[in-house]
């Protein structure tokens, strides 16, 4: 059986590095076709030396020139491309079987959509593709025969806990509710007053997971869970009222599916992204991930309780955006990206993230989200409005 050929979009980020760690364990099963990074061309160069892809993609011409020079010195024939169009090219190339969509934020939408249009097997970590363009993305995937395998730990857990032949028909499968677990982040026990004083350094230190800065802040505000509610709605045809968020500080139960007969199925494991990535890479088979199994005796206890929506109101904004439909989720996501960046740059307080997003949602009306252009227009407008709210220029 020939090896599966992969493009990894965002290969120098935490998800991309975890994917390569799993692939490294199974060189006979996987071959790297293309790798991409936005600015981290030196890290990308090291990955190219090891995996020797046909293509490497960076954000701009300057970084592309630097990468070409280093690769030339290493006698590698990897072709260097740059820019958004190049990302779409390596995602849609007919030589690619599988695309790991791991670019953070709205920047990953176009290339993930290109993979869907090309009918690829997509290992989806870029939740913004579904938050911003859920209906368009799912319709495109269905029309072109793309297979979407979620590698967010929560959605992968739900995927594993659903029937193998689940088609989105809740009545036929007997599904009643989806339970998305949240660690609660680093500020789970902070008072509302204490939350006004937290620093970026505190916010990016997640107690359980090793993640990038933006997603770590989203976890701290619980906005990450709100975005995951929207993602789950599209992935699993789930009514919003049938998606429940539950705080589980140990982060060992990664999500649950509740059935009409009262049964609940859950996926458990150590908090390491190599587990869901290995599952999706090999699906419907199983391969080793390099992660040890969960020691139930050491785990000892599992706690669950509802989120405090007064101290952490961001998930409520996501539910409201999902109910509004159209471009509202894209507006939510854009405002959140700008507000989080402003917090990381110390321009606003942690508690101002919610205020900025809420103001933008109230200032913009949701429009139909039936084209990529309409979604990108709403995204750009929301970024400008949030930049004005937070006192920074849009990125």
Cβ neighbours, 10 Å, residue 351? 18
DSSP notation for 107-119:
GGHHHHHHHHHTT
- Are 382 and 106 a contacting pair, CB within 8 Å? no
Instruction: State if pTM tops 0.75.
Output: yes
Residues of the chain with CATH 1.10.1740.10: 325-388
Note the pLDDT of residue 394.
47
Give per-10-residue mean pLDDT for the chain (395 aa).
95 96 98 96 96 97 95 90 97 98 91 97 94 96 98 97 95 97 92 94 81 88 96 98 97 97 97 97 97 92 95 97 97 96 95 96 96 95 91 52
Phi, psi (degrees; rounded to nearest 5) at 58: -125, 180
Nearest to 273 by CA among 291, 249, 255, 288: 291
Q: Which fold has domain 4-150?
A: Rossmann fold (3.40.50)
Note the pLDDT of residue 287.
97
Taking CA atoms, 286 is separated from 280, 281, 292, 318, 375, in Å, by 9, 9, 14, 34, 37
Note the pLDDT of residue 372.
93
259 DSSP β-pair partners: 175
* Pairing label, strands 147-150, 121-124: parallel
DSSP notation for 202-268:
HHT--SS----HHHHHHHHHTHHHHHHHHHHHHHTT--GGGEEEEE-TT--EEEEEEETTS-EEEEE
Note the pLDDT of residue 210.
66
Note the pLDDT of residue 209.
66
Residues of the chain with CATH 3.40.50.720: 4-150
| CA torsion angle 50 56 60 64 (round to 10) | 60
Note the pLDDT of residue 281.
98
Note the pLDDT of residue 395.
44
What architecture (CATH level 2) is domain 325-388? Orthogonal Bundle (1.10)
Half-sphere exposure of 214 (CA within 13 A, CB side): 20
Structure tokens at 192: 């509302």
- Are 278 and 192 a contacting pair, CB within 8 Å? no
């Amino acid at each position: 059986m020939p090896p599966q050929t992969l493009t990894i979009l965002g290969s120098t980020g935490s998800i991309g590095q975890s994917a390569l760690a799993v692939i490294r364990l199974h060189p006979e099963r996987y071959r790297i076709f293309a790798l991409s990074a936005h600015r981290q061309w030196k890290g990308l160069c090291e990955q190219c030396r090891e995996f020797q892809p046909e293509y490497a993609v960076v954000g701009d011409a300057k970084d592309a020139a630097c990468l070409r020079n280093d690769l030339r010195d290493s006698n590698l024939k990897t072709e260097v491309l740059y820019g958004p169009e190049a990302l779409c090219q390596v995602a849609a190339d007919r030589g690619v079987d599988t695309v790991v969509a791991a670019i953070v934020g709205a920047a990953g939408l176009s290339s993930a959509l290109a993979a869907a249009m090309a009918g690829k097997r997509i290992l989806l970590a870029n939740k913004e593709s579904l938050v911003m363009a859920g209906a368009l993305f799912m319709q495109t995937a269905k029309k072109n025969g793309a297979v979407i395998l979620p590698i967010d730990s929560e959605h992968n857990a739900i995927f594993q806990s659903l029937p193998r032949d689940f088609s989105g028909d809740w009545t036929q499968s007997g599904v009643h509710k989806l339970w998305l677990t949240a660690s609660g982040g680093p500020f789970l026990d902070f008072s509302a007053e204490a939350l006004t004083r937290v620093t970026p350094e505190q916010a990016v230190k997640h107690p359980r997971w090793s993640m990038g800065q933006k997603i770590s802040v989203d976890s701290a505000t619980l906005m990450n869970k709100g975005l995951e509610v929207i993602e789950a709605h599209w992935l699993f045809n789930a009514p919003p009222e049938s998606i429940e968020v539950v705080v589980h500080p140990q982060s060992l139960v990664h999500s649950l599916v509740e059935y009409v007969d009262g049964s609940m199925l859950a996926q458990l494991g150590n908090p390491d992204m190599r587990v869901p990535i290995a599952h999706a890479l090999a699906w419907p088979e199983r391969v080793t991930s390099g992660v040890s199994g969960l020691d139930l005796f050491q785990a000892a206890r599992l706690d669950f309780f509802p989120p405090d929506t007064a101290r952490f109101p961001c998930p409520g904004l996501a539910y409201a955006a999902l109910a509004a439909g159209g471009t509202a989720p894209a507006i939510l996501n854009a405002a959140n990206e700008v507000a989080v960046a402003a917090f990381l740059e110390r321009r606003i307080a942690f508690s101002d993230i919610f205020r900025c997003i809420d103001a933008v949602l109230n200032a913009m009306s949701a429009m139909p989200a039936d084209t990529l252009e309409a979604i990108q227009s709403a995204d750009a407008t929301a970024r400008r409005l949030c930049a004005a709210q937070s006192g920074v220029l849009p990125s």
